[in-house]
A = this chain, B = another copy of it.
Amino acid sequence: MTITIRKLDSTQADFQRDLHHLLAFEASTDEAIEHAVTTILHDVKARGDAAVLEYTNRFDRVNATSMQALDLPQSELKAALQAIPEAQRQALETAAQRIRVFHERQKQELNGFTYTEPDGTVLGQRVTPLDRVGIYVPGGKAAYPSSVLMNAIPAQVAGVQDIVMVVPTPDGVKNQMVLAAAAIAGVTRVLTIGGAQAVAALAYGTETIPPVDKIVGPGNAYVAAAKRRVFGVVGIDMIAGPSEILVLCDGTTDPDWVAMDLFSQAEHDELAQAILLCPDAEYIAKVEESIHKLLPDMPRKDVITKSLTDRGALIKVRDMQEACAIASDIAAEHLEISSENPQHWADQIRHAGALFLGRFSSESLGDYCCGPNHVLPTSRTARFSSPLGVYDFQKRSSILHVSEAGAQTLGKVAAELAYGEGLQAHARSAELRLK
């Protein structure tokens, strides 16, 4: 097993161009997928349960005769929680507890406000939970119980009453750890449906499935296309790109640790991206040695090799200061600052989905159980978006209670501006309130 990883040096003339090329990723849109999804969405919207049932039987190779057969009772979730090994159950519960604590802090931050002006006018902002959300959980091989916790717990903490999870069960195989996680995370209903048909059922509703207000969670290309299409009818979380890790290291961390951290991202899929930024050429060489040494023992070494070869890089920078500037530009999903005094460098980072500070903060700890969410902005979108959080399951409403006295002063200002914009009914509506 040999592997060649791209090496870049920030002092080279073409560095900016090479870096840009390395980061470039454009999600391709597949016309066949778009077409299939459009058909499925229309069909489920028009025919409801019957269409969902047909597609599920066909795509997941099952033989359900009614929607009821695809609707898991809570007792089955509880049974799964009892059925999994004790160590797994405890790990899930510990992770859930820590995720809940972190997200409770998020909730405390956003309470809304009101203030009263001297003339009695009250202005404010109200924060309330969404009524009902849908959580998409992939089935089959890449079934991630941690994803159930990370998507459902913030919704539950936000106060969402109905948390509907959909998870396909190809060939009828149910993942017990996923169902156990649903039991722990407070999911209120589980439907064993998936694909675009599940997204359509959640967005439009059917005879047996009430429509939700927002759909979150990862999925394949069909699910992503369907989510894009129903956006507006319901809210959606972001459409995630391939996962990324950027390790910023001053050369003081065990190179094996850094190599394994790069692997932990690269093993996700062949498009995942793992990059090291370091000012120390000798240290970079050591990390490379560790990569060669550790790779052969990795069960997912084929994926890791492809990912690191195609999209990975070891980048020599002038100094840590420059590393921070480059990292801000990259705006990575996961940024590890594996160095002495990591807070000093963190203060210079303008954009990142999550910052892992210090050499003990491996991304894997955050992926599962530290508490913060593992659903993070990818593909440089950390420049303008945030980790999934309680706030994604709440919405704000403005409150305006204008007093009679307030209407006198505000009415004149509003009328002046409304006439200036040629909106005379706006102006008259304000003026009617003047004494």
Contact = CB atoms under 8 A, between A and B. Distances in A.
B429 A264 contact: yes
A122 B353 CA distance: 17
Contacts of A144: 421
B357 A414 contact: no
B432 A370 contact: no
A128 to B, nearest CB: 7
A112 B128 CA distance: 20
Contacts of A234: 384
A372 B401 contact: no
Interface stretch (A71-79, A102-110, A188-196): A102-110
Contact of A356 (B177, B371, B377, B400): B400
B365 A400 contact: yes
A325 interface: no
Contact of A383 (B213, B354, B402): B213
Contacts of A145: 417, 420-421
Contacts of A395: 351, 377, 382-386
Contacts of A130: 383-384
A235 interface: yes
Contacts of A121: 370
Interface string A411-428: 111101110111111111
A379 interface: yes
A256 interface: yes
A370 B365 CA distance: 47
A342 to B, nearest CB: 7
A207 interface: no
A143 to B, nearest CB: 8
Contact of A424 (B300, B376, B402, B410): B300
Contacts of A372: 123, 125, 398-400
Q: Tell which of A264, A359, A373, A376 has the most Cβ of chain B within 10 Å.
A: A264
A366 B400 contact: yes
Interface of A: 27, 87-88, 90-92, 94-95, 102, 105-106, 108-113, 115, 121-123, 125-126, 128, 130-131, 141, 143-146, 177, 213-214, 232, 234-235, 239, 254, 256-257, 260-261, 263-264, 266-268, 298-300, 304, 342-343, 346, 350-373, 376-377, 379, 381-387, 389, 391, 395-404, 406-407, 410-414, 416-418, 420-430, 432-433
Please give me the 6 A-B residue pairs with the lowest Cβ-Cβ distance, nearest first.
A235-B384, A372-B398, A263-B425, A91-B416, A354-B398, A386-B396
